[in-house]
Structure 1
Amino acid sequence: MHQDNSAQTELSKKSSSTPKRKSARSPVGKSSLRRVAVEAQRSRENTKRGRDAVLEGTENNRVIATSVADQFEMDAVIRILRSHGFQIDPDGTDFDTEQVVHTRGVNNGDIFVFPSGSVVAWSLPEDVVSDLATKTLLPASLNPLADQIEMEDLEYLEDPKRENSSIKADVITLGTKPTLYSVEPEKARVDTTLAKIAFSSGLARSTKLAVLETMLRRYFESTRNIPKLLSRNSRLPFDRRFMLQKTGELLELRAQLNHYSELTDSLPDLFWDSKHELGLEGYYDQVGRALDVGIRIKTLNEKMDYAQEIASIMRHTLSEKHSLHLEWIIIILIAVEVGFELRREWKEKNEQS
């Protein structure tokens, strides 16, 4: 018990300190969600005006999302968090812990852990979130990403005059005003937590997508010379092992995007049984639209189609090379056989003479 209190005290000290942002971090690769939105050709001026209008006179906080592994083993996540003194599901949301694990630090900073290998934290310093995701929860990680870790952040605020929540100009606004369905303070707090879960799920989805974008970018860096070599009719300096390796990497990327995750699902299983009046599926969709998740998924698939064309050309080229090699082997064997036959006939002719 003393160890648990020490862990909570340490978290409190870290949480009360001013967050320090590093200009270059290794091994964590960081790309701002606002930069992603700009790359999707959204208007910077409109974004700034919208943010200023929303934040005027209101205290601002940060929500940080990071993806550190292919998956989390959720039972192990619960054991680890409890061993460090964290209470599981403090607001009694009753969500399936196989879908999301909610806990809260002593500073009331909410932490949500998703089975996709993502952690989303509200009102916690970046170094605390990073330590929790990459160190504390490391034993629960399946295939840690190591140098492919992604971390994103958004601003958020709480508005006691609004019942509904929204995301606008890359700022999440949480409406904390009690509704007709949640007059009691505890019920209103639960509704706010549910809204955070919905927004966190959308952020975790975007961060997971950023991991695949980084992996595909590195894939293209490793094969970027191939089109140039083909255009020059040059010999490809790659062997069959390299070709199989790149084909496997591409298939794994496409499977992670389209088959082994909920990235392309319009609504995760997490929200199927939620109350309609809470609008959780709407919050999830808002995050997807704000961060251009649909466009990014489409772009990823198009890039993978292009990469697949290159891989097909590589296989065809290596197949031709292999066929040519076999043809030369056959020609040489025939030549050797003809040579032996001529030598035999020459010997027979000499013996007869």
Structure 2
Amino acid sequence: MYHSISPHSLKCYAACKADEYDILGIKKFFKSSDKKFASLEGTIYFSTKEQDSQELVEVFIFYFGSIVIWGASEKKCNEILDNISAFTQGKTQNPSANSEVIECKYIPGVAKGYFNDKKDHLVIPSDNIFTKFSISYAVAQSVKLSFLENSVAKLIKSTHQIQKELSYKGSTSLSKREISKKTGMLFRERYSINLHNDMLDIPEFFWSRPIYEQLYILTAKSQDIQPRQNILNRRLDMMHDLYEMLSNDLSHKHSSRLEMTIIVLIGVEILLNLIHIAVVSM
């Protein structure tokens, strides 16, 4: 395993392009091609090299659709993404829309990691696999959140016309079926986010290795993971309130039409009875 004792900079690239990765499928593929890999808390780790410089490149593939690559050029990152694209599952997005680059500085002798605000990089006390995994997990969570944020942003955009109609007309042209379909889409997004709540928690990996938890928490805070998750849920709550209001409005209109129909039928029945009485009395 690569480990240097001299100070050096490390670049960490992360992207999320799908709902999930088929981890079992990737393992089978690696085994069939005799490629060495390791499984770390359900995450696949493997290393490769840059073709030109022969510098070591280390890769972490997370089941929830994120991938983190250390020490690779942009060309190499794209190559790795292309190689595992066949193992994506669910919705896919352009990875460039959900990607981040973290600069790290390894300085031997530093007691613990910290974020250098002036130089905008993370200082780490070691560059072993556990250190990189700790940082990678937080960055992987961050790009996954970006993936979910983009999905919700598209959903919010689809409600703009509804909001305009409500503003100008006080009602919407959507049918109950259309509102039900949109509500279903909303619940699917909420389910997707809540399904990954365990992914957004602190991994069990740190329960037995608390020395690395500080690095994970430090990176997670720098990515604003918890505040972003709260904002995402608030946006979904607002959209849910909108669709619930529209659904109730349509239900009220349906009830009103039903009542009016009953009144008309009763009126017709009374009229027919009056006509019948008039005819009989002649």
TM-score (norm 2): 0.82
* Matched letter for residue 79 of structure 1: K
- The answer for the alignment partner of 1:312 in structure 2 is 244
* Matched letter for residue 296 of structure 1: R
| 1:113 is aligned to 2:61 | yes
Residues of 2 paired with 1:59 and 1:163: CA distance?
Answer: 17
- The answer for the alignment partner of 2:155 in structure 1 is 219
- The answer for the alignment partner of 2:105 in structure 1 is 157
Shift of 1:284: 1.1
- The answer for the alignment partner of 2:90 in structure 1 is 143
- The answer for the alignment partner of 1:19 in structure 2 is none
Shift of 1:82: 3.9
- The answer for the alignment partner of 2:17 in structure 1 is 68
Shift of 1:290: 0.7
| 1:325 is aligned to 2:257 | yes
Residues of 1 paired with 2:69 and 2:198: CA distance?
Answer: 20
Shift of 1:120: 0.5
CA RMSD of aligned residues (A): 2.6
TM-score (norm 1): 0.67
* Matched letter for residue 104 of structure 1: S
Larger strand fraction of residues: 2
Shift of 1:344: 4.1
Count of aligned pairs = 268
Residues of 1 paired with 2:122 and 2:31: CA distance?
Answer: 29
- The answer for the alignment partner of 1:173 in structure 2 is 123
Shift of 1:326: 1.8
Residues of 2 paired with 1:241 and 1:257: CA distance?
Answer: 25
Residues of 1 paired with 2:239 and 2:175: CA distance?
Answer: 18
Q: Is the 8 A contact 2:102 2:121 kept in 1?
A: yes
- The answer for the alignment partner of 1:236 in structure 2 is 172
Q: Is the 8 A contact 2:19 2:90 kept in 1?
A: yes
Residues of 2 paired with 1:340 and 1:132: CA distance?
Answer: 80
| 1:95 is aligned to 2:40 | yes
Shift of 1:102: 0.4
- The answer for the alignment partner of 1:192 in structure 2 is 128
Shift of 1:289: 0.8
Q: Secondary structure at the match of 2:184?
A: helix
| 1:192/1:106 CA distance change after superposition, 3 Å | same
Shift of 1:246: 2.5
2:143 to 207, 217, 235: 207
- The answer for the alignment partner of 1:270 in structure 2 is 205
Q: Percent identity between the aligned chains? A: 23
Shift of 1:336: 4.0
Residues of 2 paired with 1:155 and 1:240: CA distance?
Answer: 50
| 1:126 is aligned to 2:83 | no
| 1:79 is aligned to 2:79 | no
Q: Is the 8 A contact 1:174 1:192 kept in 2?
A: no
* Matched letter for residue 124 of structure 1: A
Residues of 1 paired with 2:21 and 2:231: CA distance?
Answer: 27
Residues of 2 paired with 1:101 and 1:246: CA distance?
Answer: 36
Q: Is the 8 A contact 2:60 2:67 kept in 1?
A: yes
Shift of 1:101: 0.8
- Where in structure 2 are there 5+ consecutive unaligned residues? 1-6, 51-55
Residues of 1 paired with 2:279 and 2:85: CA distance?
Answer: 78
Q: Is the 8 A contact 2:21 2:63 kept in 1?
A: yes
Shift of 1:175: 2.6
* Matched letter for residue 208 of structure 2: D
| 1:262/1:167 CA distance change after superposition, 3 Å | farther
Shift of 1:194: 0.5
| 1:336/1:260 CA distance change after superposition, 3 Å | farther
| 1:254/1:222 CA distance change after superposition, 3 Å | same
Q: Is the 8 A contact 2:17 2:94 kept in 1?
A: no
Q: Secondary structure at the match of 1:109?
A: strand
Q: Is the 8 A contact 1:64 1:153 kept in 2?
A: yes
